[in-house]
Amino acid sequence: MASTSTAEHPVRSAAELETMRESGRVVALALQAVKAAAVPGVKLRDLDDIARTALHEAGAESSFFGYAPAWAPTPYKGVLCLSPNEVVVHGPPTGRKLADGDVLSIDFGAAVDGWHGDAAITVIAGTSTEEDRRLVAATEEALAAGIAAAVPGATLLDVATAIDAVAKRHGFAHLPDHGGHGIGRAMHEAPFVPNQPLAGARDVRLEAGHTIAIEPMLLAGSPEYRTARDGWSVVTRDRRRAAHAEHTVAVTDDGPVVLTAP
């Protein structure tokens, strides 16, 4: 999400976490189905249909369809965000066909009984280059590091520092002004969860029962970006590629629990 201010951060009960685990499972299963279909020649819109069917079969609601944040010109029309190559995040499903070697971020959100799950993976369609594989692997590693840091007593500065260390080690930039978020009754809740050690992150301390979506977005080139004419797609100015990985995570006394794990 785009960065916002941080406010209160609710603690979830065991029953609420169980429902969030259910929506998380729906998200994970749909992402697996979409991943399997993300081959050269497929239309992005067909991938959206696959996710829509998965939602339907699970009896879950889309977190994305109809979403209308203040910064967007029109309500969101898809159930997936499909962001190829130079599109970093928030790419609406279109008639664009995946080409061999395309790097595609697939982002999906679902709600069960009003409790949301949000996750993203980046896949490479067909033949991949070493450089693209490195970008995707670094993004997954950054997500894993952020998750591992999400323990009771840690602050969002600890989470951001863990994510940022991985990005730095691999020499990739972050998408500025964007990061993860609290999640629960709404897909986007306070607090903003930065990927870089920003001022203010130290003031947000994690407790058991907090639920956050962690989502590093790493760039192969320079961090300048713009919003495309569709009003949604976040695109790198140098048109170099990006990768994105996201999980919804519960902070617990037994350590971080990935609610969007398959």
- Residue 48 interacts with ligand MF3 (CB under 6 A): yes or no: no
**CB-based contacts of 195: which residues, under 8 Å, 6+ apart?**
142, 146, 160, 163, 164, 167, 174, 175, 178, 179, 180, 215, 216, 217
SS3 category, 92: coil
Report residue 15 as tokens.
Answer: 């029953």
- Residue 143 interacts with Co ion (CB under 5 A): yes or no: no
Single out the residue of 34, 51, 76, 218 in contact with ligand MF3 (rule: CB under 6 A).
76
SS3 category, 140: helix
Q: Which does 132 bind (CB under 5 to 8 A by kind): ligand MF3, Co ion, none?
A: none
Single out the residue of 81, 136, 150, 243 in contact with ligand MF3 (rule: CB under 6 A).
81
- Residue 90 interacts with ligand MF3 (CB under 6 A): yes or no: yes
SS percent in the chain: helix, strand, coil, step 5: 30, 25, 45
For residues 175-214, which are near Co ion according to CB under 5 A?
213
CB closer to ligand MF3, 208 vs 228:
228
- Residue 118 interacts with ligand MF3 (CB under 6 A): yes or no: yes
**Could you give the count of Cα atoms lying within 13 Å of 83 in the half-sphere of its Cβ?**
31
Q: Which residues bind ligand MF3 (CB under 6 A)?
A: 1, 64, 67, 76, 81, 90, 107, 109, 118, 120, 181, 215, 246
Per the annotation, binding residues for substrate are: 90, 188
Q: Which residues bind Co ion (CB under 5 A)?
A: 118, 213
